[in-house]
Amino acid sequence: MRKKIDFHIIKKLDLFTLNVRCGFDSGVLVVRGESGAGKTTLLNCIAGLCAPDEGFVSIGGETVFLRNAREARIDRPVRARGLGYLFQSYALFPNMTVEQNVLYGLRNKPDYRDRARRKDLLEYADYIMETFGISGLRKKRPGVISGGEKQRVALSRAIVTKPGLLLLDEPFSALDEETKAVVYGEFKLFKERFRIPTILITHNDAECEMFGDHRMHIKAGAVV
Amino acid sequence: MDFAPIVLSLKIAGVATVFSFLLGNLFAYIINKKNIPGKNIWETVLIMPMILPPSVMGYLLLIVFGKRGPIGAFLLERFGVQVVFTWVGAVIAACVVSLPLMYQNVKAAFLSTDPIYEQAAMTLGSGEWRIFRTVTFPLAQPGVISGVVLTFARALGEFGATLMIAGNIPGKTQTVPTAIYFAVEAGRTETANALVLIMTVFSFALILGLNAWLKKKNFYR
C-alpha cells in the first residue's frame, strides 16, 4: 500500500546515480545532505522540473510520475502536480508586487473563474498574508523587502493554492543568524497550523532535528 | 520641401517594426526556449540578412516576391496583392533586414533571465502562454525595448534592398534614404542636405533618448 506521499527516484547524474525511495503520510520529511549530494535534483524530480530515468512519484495517493520497464508511463506536467515549491532563492517575480506574487497561483485555479468561489480564494489569501505578517507589504515589490519578508512571501505564495505536497529547498540558508531564529519559530507554528505534507531539504543538522518528523540522510545520491 | 518621403519612411518603418517585433519574439522564444531540431540552422538563416549585402537581400526578395516568384505569384493570384514596386515591398525589405536586430536583442534578454522564475510559475500551475505573458516577456522588457528602437532605426535607414524591391516612385515608394540618393544624383543638394539633417537629428535623438531612459528606469528594483 502506497503512502500519501511516496516516491522512488532514480536518475543518473555526472558523478553518481541518485537513487532515493521514501514514503510518508503526513508531517515533514527532512532530507539532509552536503552540497552536491543530489538534494535539489531530488526535489526537482519530484516536482517534475527534471525527469527521473526511472521510478515513480505519488502525491496525495495519486501517481503523477511513473516510468519503468513494465508499466505504462505517466508524466504529469509540473503545473498539474498540485504542489508548492519554495526555491532556495525564493524566485519571487520581480515585476510583480507582493500581493500579485501571492495571488499568482490562485488565478490558475478553475475556481477562480467562479465569482463566489473566487471570493473564498481571495479571503483565504488574505488570511494567509495576515498569518505571515505580510499584509502591510502588499503593494511593495520584492526588490525592496528584507530577506525574512521575502521568505514569508514565498512561503505564502507556495501554500495559498493548498498544495498536496510542499517542497522546501534550503528555505533558511539565505537568512542571517538573527532572522533565522525568528523564522525557525514561525516555521514551527506554520507546521502545526497548516499540516501540509512537506519535504524540506537542508545541510543543517539542527534544522533536521528541529523540524523532521521523518528524517533521511543522503550522500552521493544514496540514502545512508 | 516635399515631406512625402519622410511620412512614407515613418509608415514603412513603423509597420516593419510591428512585424519584426512579433516575429522576433516568436522566433527568439521557439529557437531558444524549445527543443527544436536544427536550431543552429534556423538561427543562421534568421541572422543572414544582417551579414549579406543589401543588394543580395533585395535580389533574393525580388526572386521570392516577384510576380513569378513562389510567394509573389501566390499573393497576386490569391489576394490580388502586388509586392514589387509597392510600399508593401518596402515593408518586407525593412522587416527582413531589421529582424536580426530584434531577434538578437530579445534572445539576449530571454537568455539573461533566470529560468527559475519560469519554473516557479510552472509550480504555481501556469501554462506556457501565461508564463510567457506574465513572466518571460515582462522580465525581458529592457532587451525588447532596445530591440524595438534599433529595429525601427534600421528599418528607417534601409536603402539597398528597398530600392531593389520597391524602386523609387515619388509619393509611392520613395523613402528618405532613396530620396537622398536620387537628390544627390540629380544635383539637388538642398533637398539632400535637408533630408540628411532630419535623419541625423532624428536618429541621434532616438538613440540618446533610449539610452537615457534605460539608465533612468530602474527595472524591478
Which site among B112, B124, B132, B218 would you substitute to test the A interface, given the most A Cβ atoms closer than 10 Å to its Cβ? B124
Reference B94, options B159, B42, B170, B44; nearest CA is B159
What pLDDT, in 10s, does the model give residues B150-164? Answer: 999 999 999 999 999
The mean pLDDT value for A183-200 works out to: 91
Residue B109's domain is classified under what CATH number?
Answer: 1.10.3720.10
pLDDT score at B218: 66
What pLDDT, in 10s, does the model give residues A151-184? Answer: 999 999 999 999 999 999 999 988 888 888 888 9
Residue B116: inside a domain, yes or no? yes
Only one residue has cell 507546521, namely A191
Between chain A and chain B, the number of residue pairs with CB atoms below 8 A apart is 70
A90 contacts B215 by C-beta, under 8 angstroms: no
pLDDT score at B215: 82
What pLDDT, in 10s, does the model give residues B16-57? Answer: 999 999 999 999 999 998 888 999 999 999 999 999 999 999
Contact B127 A79 (CB under 8 A): yes
Contact A161 B134 (CB under 8 A): no
Which residues 177-196 in chain A show a CB within 8 A of chain B?
A: none
**% of chain A beyond a pLDDT of 70:** 100
Distance from CA of B119 to the nearest CA of A (A): 7
Contact B220 A94 (CB under 8 A): yes
A105 contacts B144 by C-beta, under 8 angstroms: no
User: What domain range includes position B55?
Assistant: 4-216
Q: Work out the mean pLDDT of chain A and round it to a whole number.
A: 92
At residue A55, does pLDDT exceed 90?
A: yes
The mean pLDDT value for A106-133 works out to: 92
At residue A108, does pLDDT exceed 90?
A: yes
Rg, C-alpha atoms of chain B: 20
pLDDT score at B220: 65
What ipTM does the predicted assembly reach? Answer: 0.93
At residue B69, does pLDDT exceed 70?
A: yes
How many domains would you assign to chain B? 1
Residue B79: inside a domain, yes or no? yes
The mean pLDDT value for A110-138 works out to: 93
Calculate helix-pair angle for B87-112, B54-65, nearest 10 degrees.
Answer: 120
Distance from CA of A79 to the nearest CA of B (A): 4
pLDDT score at B15: 97
At residue B2, does pLDDT exceed 90?
A: no
Residue B221: inside a domain, yes or no? no
Q: Is A49 at the interface with chain B, CB within 8 A?
A: yes
Segment holding B75, helix H or strand E? helix B70-79
Q: Which residues of B touch A144 (CB under 8 A)?
A: 221
Q: What is the DSSP-derived secondary structure letter of residue A170?
A: S
At residue A79, does pLDDT exceed 60?
A: yes
What pLDDT, in 10s, does the model give residues B97-146? Answer: 999 999 999 999 999 999 999 999 999 999 999 999 999 999 999 899 98
Q: Is A83 at the interface with chain B, CB within 8 A?
A: yes
At residue A1, does pLDDT exceed 80?
A: no
Contact B120 A161 (CB under 8 A): no
Q: Which residues of B touch A79 (CB under 8 A)?
A: 122-127
Residue B101: inside a domain, yes or no? yes
Residue B205: inside a domain, yes or no? yes
Contact A89 B138 (CB under 8 A): no
Q: Which residues of A touch B122 (CB under 8 A)?
A: 48-49, 77-79
At residue A72, does pLDDT exceed 80?
A: no
The whole-angstrom separation of Cα A201 and Cα A31 is 5
Question: In this complex, which of B122, B134, B138 lies closest to A78 when CB atoms are compared?
Answer: B122
Reference B90, options B27, B169, B181, B21; nearest CA is B169
Residue B210: inside a domain, yes or no? yes
The whole-angstrom separation of Cα A90 and Cα A138 is 17
Torsion angle of the four alpha carbons B132, B135, B138, B140, in this order, in degrees rounded to the nearest 10 = -80
